[in-house]
Amino acid sequence: PFGSKGGALPRYSNKTSDMARILCTHVGSLPRPAAMVPVVRGDVPEPADWEEQLKAATAGVLTKQLEAGLDVINDGELSRRDYVSAARARMSGFGSKRQSATAADLEQSEEYAQKFKGRKGLLSLEKETVIENPACDAEIEYLPEGLKNLETEIERITGVI
Whole-model pTM? Answer: 0.68
Q: How far apart are CA 133 and CA 95, in angstroms?
A: 10
Give the number of other CB atoms < 10 A from CB of residue 76. 19
Evaluate if residue 54 carries a pLDDT over 50: yes
Kindly provide the residue ranges of all beta strands, DSSP E only, lying in the chain, ordered along the sequence: 91-92, 96-99, 132-135, 141-142
What pLDDT band is residue 142 in, cutting at 50, 70 and 90?
Answer: very high
User: Tell me, what's the pLDDT at 120?
Assistant: 65
- Residues 6 or more apart whose CB falls under 8 angstroms from that of 135 comprise 94, 96, 97, 98
User: Tell me, what's the pLDDT at 126?
Assistant: 67
Q: How far apart are CA 38 and CA 137, in angstroms?
A: 31
What pLDDT band is residue 63 in, cutting at 50, 70 and 90?
Answer: very high
Q: How far apart are CA 80 and CA 82, in angstroms?
A: 5
Are 18 and 10 contacting, i.e. CB atoms less than 8 angstroms apart? no
Give 82-141 pLDDT, tens digit per residue.
887 888 889 999 888 888 777 777 777 777 777 777 766 666 666 777 778 888 899 999
Evaluate if residue 10 carries a pLDDT over 50: no
Evaluate if residue 1 carries a pLDDT over 70: no
User: Tell me, what's the pLDDT at 15?
Assistant: 53
